Amino acid sequence: MKVIFAGGGTGGHLYPGLAIARALVRCDRSIEPFFIGAKRGIEREVLPGTEFPHALLDLHPLYRTRPWDNWRTARGAVTAWRQIGRQLRFGRPRLVVGTGGYAAGLVLAYAAAHKRPYVLQEQNSHPGLTMRAFSRWAREVYLGFPEAAAALSRGAGTVMVDTGNPIEPPPAPRPDRDVARDRWDLTPGGRVLLVVGGSQGARAVNDVVAAWIRGGVPDGWQVIWATGKGSFDSYASLESERVRVRPYLAPIAHAYAAADLALCRAGAMTTAELCAWGIPSVLVPLPTAAADHQTANARALAAAGASLVLPQAEFTPARIDSTLAMLAGGPPQLARLAAAAAARGRPDAAETIARRILTLLDVKQIRS
């Protein structure tokens, strides 16, 4: 039974679809996910390495700051519309799953125009243009942040469900904290700060963190720092007895298990993973994110008591020091943040969404 997944352009729109697709197959092996994405998006690098068949089309975003380039969007839409039609007519899918981004927009437009059923998964607290445009005709909308519901149109038959974002859940049992710190060659005592710059705008975070480390990591703290592959060589020399510097974290489970606090961007999937692990965070939203959605994510988590927000304009080594000093001043501070993060966590979101989809398809649910 074929299910079309449409979404991409960025990893934040692609990886949720992959998580849902894998959960669907785990629940029922008769499901055949098929991905439609853009030739220019991250999916061209990721999808060929997955187990799923896919089609990459000449899809483009709306060029809002360069409107003269929108001829590319129009030209790509004309050719892609026919290819989407072939997939939805001859592949005879039972459902379309839209995960957002410009790569999903045209597929959802075709589905809506031809009355093909679809569901949506919105990752952020401030929904993107594609989700706002098509939510009213969706059967169900799965919300990564419950706050997103207020900005989405609801049709007569639309059901909005607070599922959380679909991620790879923490392993069961989780790695022991002391064992995880030993894996990182860190001492069991004290606190561990996990720093992840993120794939976009990481330099702004990394430069401040580097200056902070050069000034001396405060007593009682140790650091695991993922710089990003492209930046690692610039910061590798800052490795020390209490600082671990890596280009990326794979697998990331032992870094999460070792951490007491995270310092990172406010991307939807990053924050979903932190909450699933019950890790409190200091969030530095990427100010150039579309519609400033990272700031909206960070504020939602701060309002829930799970995070602190540091705008990039105020992000300095001195602010890192003062924030850590404030949190270390009384253990209940970190504990309260961690409890609130765990309360927002939805580690089983992918399976929850998969089972709701199977109910819509009226498929008997089978555990693998």
CA distance 176 to 165: 25
* Contact residues for 168 (Cβ-Cβ < 8 A; gap 6+): 19, 273
Terminal-residue alpha carbon distance, the chain: 17
- 199 with 76, same domain: the answer is no
- 114 with 222, same domain: the answer is no
Q: Does residue 156 have a pLDDT over 80?
A: yes
CATH number for the domain spanning 313: value is 3.40.50.2000
Query: Taking a C-beta distance cutoff of 8 angstroms, is the pair 244, 224 a contact?
Result: yes
Does any domain span residue 367? no
- 55 with 68, same domain: the answer is yes
Structure tokens at 27: 């629940």
- 6 with 97, same domain: the answer is yes
* pLDDT given at position 82: 82
**Phi, psi torsion values for 340, nearest 5 degrees:** -70, -40
- 195 with 111, same domain: the answer is no
Residue type at 219?
D
CA distance 1 to 333: 50
Does any domain span residue 100? yes
Q: What is the CA radius of gyration of the chain?
A: 21
- 339 with 352, same domain: the answer is no
Lowest-confidence range among 39-43, 79-83, 223-227, 269-273? 79-83
Q: Does residue 349 have a pLDDT over 90?
A: yes
DSSP reduced 3-state for 21: helix
Distances (CA, A) of 74 to 34, 68, 133, 150, 189: 24, 11, 18, 31, 59
Q: Does residue 201 have a pLDDT over 60?
A: no
Domain with 211 in it: 177-344
- 72 with 50, same domain: the answer is yes
Q: Annotate 132-200 with DSSP letters as a single string.
A: HHHGGG-SEEEESSGGGGGGS---TT-EEEE------PPPSSPPPHHHHHHHTT--SSSEEEEEE--SS
- 353 with 339, same domain: the answer is no
What would the pLDDT profile of 206-262 be if each residue is shown by its tens digit? 999 999 999 999 999 999 999 988 889 999 999 999 999 999 887 899 999 999 999
Distances (CA, A) of 349 to 31, 35, 97, 297, 315: 18, 20, 15, 18, 32
Does any domain span residue 122? yes
Does any domain span residue 368? no
Does any domain span residue 83? yes
- 32 with 162, same domain: the answer is yes
For the chain, what is the domain count?
A: 2
- 161 with 216, same domain: the answer is no
* pLDDT given at position 57: 86
Does any domain span residue 273? yes
Q: Residue range 115-143: average pLDDT? A: 95
What would the pLDDT profile of 283-342 be if each residue is shown by its tens digit? 999 998 878 899 999 999 999 999 999 999 999 999 999 999 999 876 788 999 999 999
* pLDDT given at position 80: 75
Does any domain span residue 219? yes
- 201 with 104, same domain: the answer is no
- 273 with 159, same domain: the answer is no
Strand 2-6 relative to strand 95-98: parallel, antiparallel, unpaired? parallel
